[in-house]
Structure 1
Amino acid sequence: MILCEANMLTKKRLFIGALAGGIAAFFVFKGDRLTAFFGAIAAFFGAFSVNEIVAIVGVILGVASFFLTWYYKEKNHLLLKAQLMQQGAVSAILKQDDAS
């Protein structure tokens, strides 16, 4: 009985060691990609001056602002159209739109 328990304990340790090795191999493989990713970011920032990076970020934020404004204006127009179909009072809807 004790021999059987010792054998199970050895198998359990072997399993835990294999599992730890698999997890370590996974992180080593992902670590290579992670290092390459941060290396690419460092190379990107190293290729431009601060003024150029600020200009790039400004253009990206400007385009994002344009699309967000367009998206929410479209949603607002659809809501106003639904209210117009339900209530039918154009002046009340226009006053509500001007207030917001």
Structure 2
Amino acid sequence: MILFWTTYLFFSLGLSFLFSLLVDNRILKIFIFSFSLALMCTVWFKNPGENIVVPIFAIFILETTILENNGFERIIRPLSLITFLLTLITFFSWKKKSKN
């Protein structure tokens, strides 16, 4: 199981980096990287009251298609928190290129 989550994390990092290469603006690049990484890597409980955690992206897809509606608010809260934290971390870690 650890091998699966490690592979999933590296795949998500790579895909988020590729998404960020689509734009040239630094701020937009940081936001796209942070949001896509948060969307793919944030985990939450599959159903309320269960101990099984799954990525939020999978919960969103399943709730819009086949599962009963448990409310999108339960996945928006952790997604917004992780997106905010990743945006701050990414903003301070990606330094602006010097013009020397």
**Max Rg structure:** 1
Q: What's the TM-score once normalised by structure 2's chain length?
A: 0.31
| Greater fraction strand | 2
| Greater fraction helix | 1
Q: What's the TM-score once normalised by structure 1's chain length?
A: 0.31
Larger RCO, structure (CA 8 Å, separation 6 or more): 2
